Amino acid sequence: MNNSTDKSSNFIEFETPIDVKDLFKIIFEKKIPIFIFSLLLSIISVFYALSLTDYFESESLMSVRDVNENRSMTNFGGAASLLGIDISVSGENKTMQAIELIKSRKFMKHLLTFDKVLPSIMAAKSFDKETKSIIFDYNLYDSDKNVWKNDDFASLSKPSYLDAHGVFIDDLLTISLDKNTGFIKLNIKHVSPIFARDFLSLIIDESNNILRQKDLIESEQAIKYLKTEIAKTSLIDIRESINNLIEAQLEIQMMSNINKDYVLIIIDPPYIPEKSLGNSKLLIVIFSFIFGLLISSLYFLTRYLYEKKFL
């Protein structure tokens, strides 16, 4: 019986409670060094945040032209199928066709044929607000001589369209589709707000041009084929159906030539952003100050607990 009492008393003596009030008292007493440390850490973070590159984002909202505008095409779909011609195009297919075109390597290769697109994608370093021009990384590209370089300033072959496509997809382009409305939203992020707007406009224009040319070529080939077929038959019903199909193909050519926004109809055009995506810089400073408070408070509390032999 006495042994159990001794064990109980030994256990009580070993357990020493920690007073939470003492912990808050330690933090209050050390408030000045805690604040100074946090302030120094936030000042360091300010210099780090200022060293980060500013990025700007331009955006455009678009819809896809309703395929039902070409009603004559849908009316004669059965006759076209009898002749081995596929004219069935849904709005959803046109939407996905436009999206996949923009994301394709072939499209990037086409965009690189335009002046300064490749260096603006691969070698842009910052943006000069006074001259409103891109400052290129001289270790990569000499804009005055239009020469690509490495760190030793030796001439190199320029980056490939595959390299540019990787940067384009991973860092520059954001594309989203609202399945409820069918609207497409395109975003381009870049160090230059002007290039972000211009490049986005170029993407939309060239997407429409390529899709337009594709349909024009296909319609011309279809008309040639239909004219060949109509010469082979004397049946009035078949000749009438073929003539209707030719009219439908001519309608495609007409729509292609009169509509600048052939597939992608701009609802909200690309714009020059006025503010950079700089909210993260402020967050870095705020987080650094809070982190400084936490780490310095933890240091003094740990030292107190160690001195009191709690640790």
Q: Give 45-86 as a DSSP string.
A: HHHHHHHSPP-EEEEEEEEE--GGG-HHHHHTHHHHHHTT--
DSSP label of 31: H
Instruction: Give percent of the chain with pLDDT exceeding 70.
Output: 80
Kindly state the average pLDDT of the residues 152-177.
84
Q: How far apart are CA 104 and CA 100, in angstroms?
A: 6
Q: How far apart are the first and last CA of the chain?
A: 33
How high is the pLDDT of residue 78?
A: 47
Residue 114 has pLDDT above 90, yes or no: yes
Closest CA to 298 of 37, 1, 15: 37
How high is the pLDDT of residue 278?
A: 65
Chain CA centroid to CA 137, Å: 22
Instruction: Give percent of the chain with pLDDT exceeding 90.
Output: 32
How high is the pLDDT of residue 167?
A: 95
By CB atoms closer than 10 A (0-12, 13-18, 19+), residue 66 is exposed
Q: Which residue has the higher pLDDT, 32 or 188?
A: 188
The helix, strand and coil proportions of the chain, stated in percent and rounded to the nearest 5, come to: 60, 15, 25
Q: What is the 3-state secondary structure (H, E, C) of 187-229?
A: EEEECCHHHHHHHHHHHHHHHHHHHHHHHHHHHHHHHHHHHHH
Token pair listed for 191? 């160090």
Length, in residues, of the chain: 311
How high is the pLDDT of residue 139?
A: 86
Residue type, 150: N
How high is the pLDDT of residue 14?
A: 42
How high is the pLDDT of residue 153?
A: 47
Q: Which residue has the higher pLDDT, 12 or 169?
A: 169
Of 44-48, 199-203, 205-209, 265-269, where does mean pLDDT reach its minimum?
Answer: 44-48
Per-residue pLDDT band at 92 (split at 50, 70, 90): low
Token pair listed for 22? 């003492």
Q: What is the pLDDT of residues 247-306, one digit of tens each?
A: 888 888 887 787 788 889 999 999 999 888 766 777 878 888 888 888 888 888 787 777
Cα angle 189, 193, 194 (rounded to 5 degrees) comes to 120
Q: What is the pLDDT of residues 57-91, one digit of tens each?
A: 999 999 998 654 444 444 545 445 545 555 544 44
- Of 3.30.70, 1.10.10, 3.40.50, 3.30.1890, the CATH number of 56-70+80-212+265-276 is 3.30.1890
Domain boundaries of the chain, sorted by first residue: 21-54+278-311, 56-70+80-212+265-276
CB atoms within 10 A of CB 83: 15
